[in-house]
């Protein structure tokens, strides 16, 4: 009997919808859809399963159903035989031409695959260099767990959040960690665009619309697959289909999968619902915008890594001004350092920041900042801003300073230490004293309660 590969695939394609009616959706998605017909031998259709347990599960319960379905479409087929890729070499009964074709392809893949697994991870994107705060703690802990024991817990891990908040950093940290602890692990990090391109190339090169052998073998042999910015798979049904099958294979084989996205899986448009549900079947965690304290800690770490001395007051000020995302925060720090190097000055006063970040600061219209409160208080009492946060102890200046401290602690949530740093490097006990003193005065002295009422109104108009 002379049956070529295209005819065999045709038979299989026709049989699939019939099989799908007789098995559960999940069994179909996970096992049946991963089978690939390769030849007919001894009147049996030979199907390759991606791994041993898949072969066993099908043989155990569903072989007769599959046999019945395929027999309808080719009179020469009397049964099926399921093998795995490792059986191909010893599979001597199959028509030589087809098996030869397949095995040569497999050999070629074996040599090309290995270099595909060497994703270069950005060394500085490590867990050690990741500053933990309330906004990213859940993602950090989950990522660390995954890196320590890939495929055991949290599979898939789905991390989502806005731009510049550390998603890519975390993925590289997982990669760096796994690589340094176990050199043998096959691990790929890629953007979803790269994944799409890879898939499209594989179709072009093989003239087939099916998820072809080379593509599948490259990915299904992985220990860890990480796809960054998966939201870009939106509106690409064939890539989604390929990812869906790959996901099932890796998941069944307990291989770790990590995705990031700029939004929750449910919010990704134009995507197959089966994928949306797969994305959410493990752990879904978000990264949100860091609070002031975390932003300050990140800046401190970045300044330290750059070996550039930046005063606490300056770090506080930059962190206050730039509250969009961490990438911009880093950019602002770089600008300040560049400005200081260019002008041969130290990063130890607010003028330096104001000059270096002139364009950035002018455009800020966000939440109330310490800097804004100090500006309002100094305008209100007609006192120079520098004096307000400086050392002068003149009564009116000292009093305005205490009022500013009270308003900061009342209107925005900032740690006392950060207020102290911002107000000219004062101790946190000084901050507590100022805050409590004004708080007492408000309830006993109308003059003070009016100051606070006026100023609060002015500040809140921002
Ligand atoms: P995303 O992928 O979410 O857009 P990135 O991972 O590219 O964001 O992060 C942008 C920049 O911010 C990177 O340089 C990264 O190192 C830094 N970054 C983000 N989060 C943190 C953090 N928690 N600690 C230290 N650096 C961070
Ligand atoms: Mg990113």
DSSP string computed for 299-350: HHHHHHHTT--B-HHHHHHHHHH--S-HHHHHHHHHHHHHHHHHHT--B-SH
Q: Dihedral, CA atoms, 53, 56, 62, 66, nearest 10 degrees?
A: 90
pLDDT at residue number 356: 93
Could you tell me if the CB of 125 is within 6 A of ligand 1? yes
- Residue closest by Cα to atom 14 of ligand 1: 327
* pLDDT tens by residue, 224-244: 999 999 999 999 998 999 999
Using CB atoms within 10 A of its CB, is residue 359 exposed (0-12), middle (13-18) or buried (19+)? exposed
What per-residue string of b and e applies to 299-315 under the rule 16 or more CB within 10 Å gives b? bbebbeeeebebbbbbb
* pLDDT tens by residue, 144-165: 999 999 999 999 999 999 999 9
Task: Please tell me which of 49-58, 109-118, 384-393 the model is most confident about, judged by mean pLDDT.
Answer: 384-393
pLDDT at residue number 295: 95
pTM of the model as a whole:
0.65
pLDDT band at 264; cut points 50, 70, 90: very high
Could you tell me if the CB of 299 is within 6 A of ligand 1? no
Reading the block at residue 310, the tokens are 């930046």
- Rounded distance from Cα 282 to ligand 1 centre (Å): 23
DSSP string computed for 233-244: GTT-HHHHHHHH
> Quick one: what percent of the chain has pLDDT higher than 90?
63
pLDDT band at 437; cut points 50, 70, 90: very high
Could you tell me if the CB of 325 is within 6 A of ligand 1? no
Reading the block at residue 150, the tokens are 């890939």
Q: What is the mean pLDDT of the chain?
A: 87
Mean pLDDT of 188-213: 78
Could you tell me if the CB of 136 is within 6 A of ligand 1? yes
């Amino acid at each position: 009997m002379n049956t070529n590969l295209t005819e065999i695939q045709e038979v299989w394609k026709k049989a699939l919808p019939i099989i799908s009616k007789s098995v559960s959706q999940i069994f179909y998605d996970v096992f049946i859809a991963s089978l690939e017909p390769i030849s007919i031998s001894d009147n049996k259709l030979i199907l390759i399963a991606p791994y041993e347990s898949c072969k066993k599960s099908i043989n155990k319960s569903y072989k007769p159903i599959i046999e019945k379905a395929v027999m309808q479409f080719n009179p020469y087929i009397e049964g099926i035989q399921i093998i795995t890729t490792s059986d191909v070499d010893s599979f001597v009964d199959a028509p030589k031409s087809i098996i030869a074709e397949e095995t040569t392809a497999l050999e070629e893949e074996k040599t090309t695959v290995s270099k595909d697994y060497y994703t270069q991870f950005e060394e500085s994107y490590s867990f050690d260099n990741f500053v933990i705060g309330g906004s990213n703690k859940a993602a950090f802990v989950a990522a660390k767990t995954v890196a320590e024991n890939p495929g055991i817990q949290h599979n898939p891990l789905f991390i989502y959040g806005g731009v510049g908040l550390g998603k890519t950093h975390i993925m590289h940290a997982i990669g760096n960690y796994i690589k340094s602890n176990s050199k043998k692990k096959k691990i790929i990090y890629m953007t979803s665009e790269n994944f799409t391109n890879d898939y499209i190339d594989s179709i072009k090169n093989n003239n087939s619309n099916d998820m072809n052998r080379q593509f599948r073998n490259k990915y299904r042999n992985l220990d860890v697959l990480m796809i960054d910015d998966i939201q870009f798979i939106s509106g690409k049904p064939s890539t989604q289909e390929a990812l869906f099958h790959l996901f099932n294979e890796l998941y069944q084989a307990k291989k770790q999968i990590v995705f990031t996205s700029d939004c929750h899986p449910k919010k990704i448009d134009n995507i197959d619902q089966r994928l949306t549900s797969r994305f959410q079947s493990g752990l879904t965690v978000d990264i949100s915008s860091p609070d002031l304290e975390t932003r300050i800690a990140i800046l401190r770490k970045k300044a330290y890594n750059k070996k550039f001395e930046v005063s606490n007051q300056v770090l506080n000020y930059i962190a206050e001004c730039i509250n969009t995302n961490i990438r911009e925060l880093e950019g602002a720090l770089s600008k300040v350092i560049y400005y200081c190097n260019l002008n041969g000055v130290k990063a130890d006063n607010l003028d330096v920041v104001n000059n270096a970040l002139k364009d950035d600061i002018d455009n800020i219209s966000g939440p109330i900042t310490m800097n804004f409160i100090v500006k309002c208080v100094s305008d209100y009492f007609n006192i120079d801003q520098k004096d307000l946060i400086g050392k002068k102890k003149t009564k009116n200046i000292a009093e305005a300073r205490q009022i500013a401290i009270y308003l900061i602690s009342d209107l925005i949530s900032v740690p006392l230490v950060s207020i102290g740093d911002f107000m000219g490097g004062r101790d946190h006990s000084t901050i507590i004293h100022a805050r409590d003193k004004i708080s007492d005065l408000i309830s006993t002295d109308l003059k003070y309660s009016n100051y606070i009422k006026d100023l609060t109104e002015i500040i809140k108009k921002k």
